[in-house]
Amino acid sequence: MSLDPRRKAALPDTPLARRLGDALVRVRGRASAGADLARITWFRVGGPAELMIRPVDVDDLAIVLAAKPADVPLTVIGVGSNLLVRDGGIPGITVRLGRGFAEIEAEDGRFIRAGAAALDANVAKVARDHGIAGLEFLTGVPGTMGGALRMNAGAYGREIKDVLITAEALDPSGRLHTLRPEDMDLSYRHCGVPEDWVFVAATLKGEPGDPQAIAARLDEIRAQREDSQPIRTRTGGSTFANPEGHSAWKLVDAAGCRGLTIGGAQVSEKHTNFLINTGTATAADLEALGEEVRRRVKETSGVELRWEIRRVGVPADHPDAITAADTSETGDDA
């Protein structure tokens, strides 16, 4: 494959980009240095990405993984729903999966194949349209299929491991693997697949059902979420996993944390397992508030809450903090 000198000239000229060399030229997707991540996270906070790459397909992503130096960290993000990016940004390579990973297909009236960037709610809608029942819970899971696989996400009594047939993932060398649930060590909000493997697709199983009944269940779940969760605020979904035998929100409430604030961050008055950016919060405010909640719950109940929100990047005062944002990008739209 000949290298396009025009693309090479247009690529970010940073030490990290230069380390990737000609591999970055072969990548067809967009590449940018200092990309503003606060624009795309649901919390609307966080520093920039040192180098963001948006591969157009699995082959593109494989090039990135194979070329990445072993000492360079890799972070994969989707729509930024259950994610807190720290104020110093994300050193290394940030991969954002886009349209090329968002396809959803129904198969044989019982199965759904979805790319890792497919919205969980859209998977539920496609299942509804094809009369496939059993996947309605996904309309209550914010984010994408890749994130759902990574944390064995669930809601309303079901989770990914209950409906998963196979997952597809690239290993650090860029090789594609097909994984069965028994290969993945799935448990409550946990997946044992190594963090440096990147999910690219999944096949889920349902069962034949009445589209109208499925639609009614989707409407019911959406109404329940609207009534009980602060979904129209700047939030990141459920903050803490439910400890065995407990509801996280009840422990937080019993610890007196409802409405608690640090800076511009607040524990939701509507649902105490949600943190909110009231408009001026930093990532440091949100993380500090979450840690204060954990401290108070431990003090009052003896239970140690585990973060469900994924926290990535470095604080603003970290030596590796990324200081400049650059929204310019090169390459094809991913």
> What does the alpha-carbon distance between residue 69 and residue 80 come to, in Å, rounded to a whole number?
25
Q: Is 108 left (phi over 0), alpha (psi -120 to 50) or beta?
A: left
Of residues 129, 127, 24, 113, the one with CA closest to residue 72 = 24
Burial of 1 (0-12, 13-18, 19+ CB in 10 A): exposed
| Residue 189 known to be catalytic | yes
> What does the alpha-carbon distance between residue 201 and residue 144 come to, in Å, rounded to a whole number?
11
| Residue 238 known to be catalytic | yes
Task: Please list the helix, strand and coil fractions of the chain in percent, rounded to the nearest 5, in that order.
Answer: 30, 25, 45
Burial of 227 (0-12, 13-18, 19+ CB in 10 A): exposed
> Which listed residue (19, 189, 306, 311) is catalytic?
189
| Residue 247 known to be catalytic | no
Q: At what angle do helices 211-228 and 120-129 cross, to 10 degrees?
A: 150
> Which listed residue (32, 81, 238, 268) is catalytic?
238
Residue 259 in contact with residue 269, Cβ under 8 Å? yes
Active-site annotation, residues: 189, 238, 308
